[in-house]
Structure 1
């Protein structure tokens, strides 16, 4: 069977990348043609062309998988995104859908499902290979740090002020916000603040 699905694997953990690469390269109809250790490398590889599916970890450094997926969508790049993450809550899946992902898979799924997901996404089948859980708690799915950042944003603080309050860099604040936006299904700071107030988010007084 000729190779027909050309894949990029983007993840900041080299052991994980090697494992996924070995898994996919063992399939006659799949070839891993590029790897990336962070979001910026992933975007460069995608812009270079020659890819069918980008398997993206959502929590990469420099630029997150959410950022990369959004760039693919906004620039109309000819690749389909299979998002990998540890989260399975409904708001996070919904946010990734809005940000351009074609498929979603949690990292705890069996290897056979990863292969199936790559093939399905390559065929243009928008599928979620998880059973998303919906939680009443508006903070469900957010990390403790993401909750802190969102609460400060909702209080009207700018990124620099948030960083000073939490003793983290502005770039780290932006990364936390990008992940938070994806999880709650919004695209801008204004929408995030509105979401926080609408849902009675803790600290958004």
Structure 2
């Protein structure tokens, strides 16, 4: 009996440590999932069954970046991978055409199973997570003790976003954002925003220009 080919999945995120964590999660499922290498900040350039859009470092899961993936004719289906399960956000992105909305609290086997269901044509929406941190994967600042949400806030601060935009994009109250900032600052040993940005730049919170080796990617015809 012939076996099914693995699902071809593109990991869409501009942080090397995040993508590496996902690669480790899929490592034991090579017969079911084949990951496509990407260059940070560039469109997917080969046909894939699923684009797994990791929302880390994005102000929201309904950003223009998601719309760009949805419009890409080389992507059969798009799945958002996130901890943010505000119902208004879930409704918005699924209405826009996302085929799945998966929680970062899913263990690897459950994530692979969900992707297989999406590939089979089913809309898959995870239950809202009860825990704030994923069970697998990785994120900048984890080794320094930052929780996932603290790390997300520091990533957006490093990008230069003010608290109001962070709160709006993450669907958090301004007081919740301030609470995450205070707890993160204590762990980072900083007291000012400028210090936090400098710390973030030194600890992997600026998105990567090149995610994989340059030899893996053909240059653009115009040399850019």
Which TM class, normalised by the smaller chain length? 0.5 to 0.7
Distance 2:109 2:9 in 1: 16
Partner of 2:89, secondary structure, is: helix
C-alpha deviations, 1:83-125, integer Å up to 9, x for none?
Answer: 0112112111111112321101121222222111211111121
The answer to whether the 8 Å contact 1:7/1:34 transfers is: no
1:97 to 94, 102, 123: 94
Gap regions ≥5 residues in structure 1? 134-142, 144-167, 184-205
> Structure 2 matches for 1:141-160, cutoff 5 A?
none
Q: What is the aligned partner in structure 2 of residue 84 from structure 1?
A: 81
Partner of 2:10, secondary structure, is: strand
Partner of 1:9, secondary structure, is: strand
Q: What is the aligned partner in structure 1 of residue 65 from structure 2?
A: 68
Partner of 2:70, secondary structure, is: helix
Structure having greater relative contact order (Cα 8 Å, sep ≥ 6): 2
- Return closer, same or farther for 1:70/1:31 CA change in 2, 3 Å cut-off: same
The answer to whether the 8 Å contact 1:10/1:57 transfers is: yes
Q: What is the aligned partner in structure 2 of residue 195 from structure 1?
A: none
Could you tell me how far 1:128 is from its partner in structure 2?
0.2
Distance 2:81 2:94 in 1: 13
Q: CA RMSD in A?
A: 3.5
Compute the TM-score of the two structures, normalised by the length of structure 1: 0.54
Aligned length: 139
Compute the TM-score of the two structures, normalised by the length of structure 2: 0.50
